[in-house]
């Protein structure tokens, strides 16, 4: 584990790059011994600063949830990141990308919680019982690392490439859907460019929820009522540019439209 002084220095670098929209070297170049837990310690330090500036944590994102991405990164658990209220946009509107470096979009299923959830090993039914509704989401990623090239510890420190996210479509009760087989189509400027089934996320997005709650438990935390969780990309992440019209269609869950500014 790195010393707290190193964690503070890394948080300075990431915070500054995120605020000013420029790339930085992989954190592990300067700190080769950095671990994934160090990456989460950087997230903790970032959260302290953001909250001191009045920003509000409203939930979590799971990343690297497809088998292909996990194999590529040599991991068997997703990465987790924080979702801040001021990075959430309404559907149908214009999503600002000014200040982002090389934004990409991906389609995900979001869970919105009505009850707190905690424990080392919650079951799928526990997740369903604590869920208010599920709904479509588009995540806008923006790695602070050149060409989205990073290792796991570095990307965790960069809050899982989080930039913005859009919630929309039709909120549904998870019990009423087969969440392992929701077809998702992502369109850019009217062209269908990515197709996926929701089972691309760990076989079923509820798995990402179970893993998130276990991970929070190891940190002495729980998933609070009201939290929003992005369960991870079912589609690949596609580059976007100013002026693009994005539509994500989710079978039985409605669509999200947004324009990129
Ligand atoms: O949400 C995600 O799956 C992204 C996790 C971080 C890795 C990336 O930027 O692709
Ligand atoms: Mg994502």
pLDDT tens column, 82-104: 999 999 998 998 999 999 999 99
In this predicted structure, the answer to whether residue 71 has a pLDDT above a threshold of 80 is no
pTM attached to this predicted model:
0.96
Q: Which ligand is nearest to the CA of 161?
A: 1
Q: Identify which of 44, 67, 174, 161 has the alpha carbon closest to the alpha carbon of residue 106.
A: 161
User: What counts of helices (H) and strands (E) characterise the chain?
Assistant: 7, 13
pLDDT tens column, 133-159: 999 999 999 999 998 889 999 999 999
In this predicted structure, the answer to whether residue 217 has a pLDDT above a threshold of 80 is yes
Classify 97 as helix, strand or coil: coil
In this predicted structure, the answer to whether residue 173 has a pLDDT above a threshold of 80 is yes
Q: Is the CB of 156 under 6 A from ligand 1?
A: no
Query: What residues have CB less than 8 Å from 187, skipping those under 6 apart?
Result: 193, 246, 247, 248, 249
Reported as type and span, the H/E element at residue 228 is: strand 228-233
Q: Is the CB of 161 under 6 A from ligand 1?
A: yes
Q: Is the CB of 160 under 6 A from ligand 1?
A: yes
* Ligand 1: nearest atom to the Cα of 62: 1
Q: How far is CA 161 from the centre of its chain?
A: 8
* Ligand 1: nearest atom to the Cα of 64: 3
The pLDDT value recorded for residue 73 is 75
Per the listing, tokens 């409203």 go with 58
For residues 178-196, average pLDDT: 96
Domains of the chain: total? 1
Classify 43 as helix, strand or coil: helix
Q: Is the CB of 45 under 6 A from ligand 1?
A: no
The pLDDT value recorded for residue 74 is 76
Would you say 251 and 177 are in contact if contact means Cβ atoms under 8 Å apart? no
Query: Residue 55: which CATH number?
Result: 3.90.850.10
Query: What residues have CB less than 8 Å from 148, skipping those under 6 apart?
Result: 102, 104, 141, 161
Instruction: Choose one of 65, 81, 82, 141 to mutate for the ligand 1 pocket test, by most ligand atoms within 8 angstroms of C-beta.
Output: 141
Distance of CA 60 from the midpoint of ligand 2 (Å): 10
For residues 29-46, average pLDDT: 97
Name the average pLDDT for the chain. Answer: 95
The pLDDT value recorded for residue 69 is 75
Question: Which structural domain range is residue 229 located in?
Answer: 4-260
In this predicted structure, the answer to whether residue 203 has a pLDDT above a threshold of 80 is yes
Query: What residues have CB less than 8 Å from 77, skipping those under 6 apart?
Result: 211, 215
Residue 67's pLDDT band, with cuts at 50, 70 and 90, is confident
Distance of CA 42 from the midpoint of ligand 2 (Å): 19
- The protein residue with its alpha carbon nearest to ligand 1, atom 5, reads 63
Q: CA 245, CA 66: separation in Å to the nearest integer?
A: 26
- The protein residue with its alpha carbon nearest to ligand 1, atom 9, reads 161
The pLDDT value recorded for residue 77 is 79
Classify 116 as helix, strand or coil: coil
Phi, psi of 145 (to 5 degrees): -100, 140
Q: Identify which of 64, 55, 237 has the alpha carbon closest to the alpha carbon of residue 140.
A: 237
Residue 235's pLDDT band, with cuts at 50, 70 and 90, is confident
* Surface-to-core class of residue 65, CB atoms within 10 Å of its CB (0-12 exposed, 13-18 middle, 19+ buried): buried
Reported as type and span, the H/E element at residue 63 is: strand 57-63
For residues 243-247, average pLDDT: 97
The pLDDT value recorded for residue 26 is 95
For residues 227-255, average pLDDT: 95
- The protein residue with its alpha carbon nearest to ligand 1, atom 8, reads 161
In this predicted structure, the answer to whether residue 236 has a pLDDT above a threshold of 90 is no
């Amino acid at each position: 584990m790195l010393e707290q002084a190193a964690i503070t220095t890394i948080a300075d670098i990431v915070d500054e790059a995120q605020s000013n929209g420029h790339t930085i070297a992989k954190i592990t170049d300067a700190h080769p011994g950095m671990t994934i837990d160090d990456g989460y310690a950087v997230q903790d330090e970032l959260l302290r600063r953001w909250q001191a500036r009045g920003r509000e944590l409203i939930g979590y994102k799971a990343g690297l949830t497809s088998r292909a991405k996990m194999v590529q990164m040599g991991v068997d658990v997703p990465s987790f990141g924080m979702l801040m209220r001021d990075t959430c946009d309404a559907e149908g509107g214009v999503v600002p990308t000014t200040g982002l470096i090389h934004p990409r979009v991906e389609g995900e299923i979001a869970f919105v919680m009505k009850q707190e959830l905690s424990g080392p090993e919650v079951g799928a039914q526990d997740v369903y019982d604590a869920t208010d509704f599920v709904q479509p989401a588009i995540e806008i990623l923006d790695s602070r690392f050149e060409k989205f090239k990073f290792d796991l510890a570095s990307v965790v420190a960069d809050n899982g490439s989080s930039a913005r996210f859009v919630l929309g479509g039709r909120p549904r009760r998870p019990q009423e859907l087969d969440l392992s087989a929701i077809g998702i189509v992502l369109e850019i400027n009217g062209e269908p460019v990515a197709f996926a089934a929701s089972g691309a996320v760990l076989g079923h997005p509820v798995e990402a929820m179970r893993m998130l709650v276990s991970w929070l438990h190891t940190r002495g935390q729980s998933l609070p009522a009201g939290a929003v969780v992005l369960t991870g990309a079912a589609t690949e992440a596609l580059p976007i540019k100013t002026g693009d019209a994005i539509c994500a269609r989710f079978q039985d869950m409605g669509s999200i439209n947004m324009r990129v500014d």
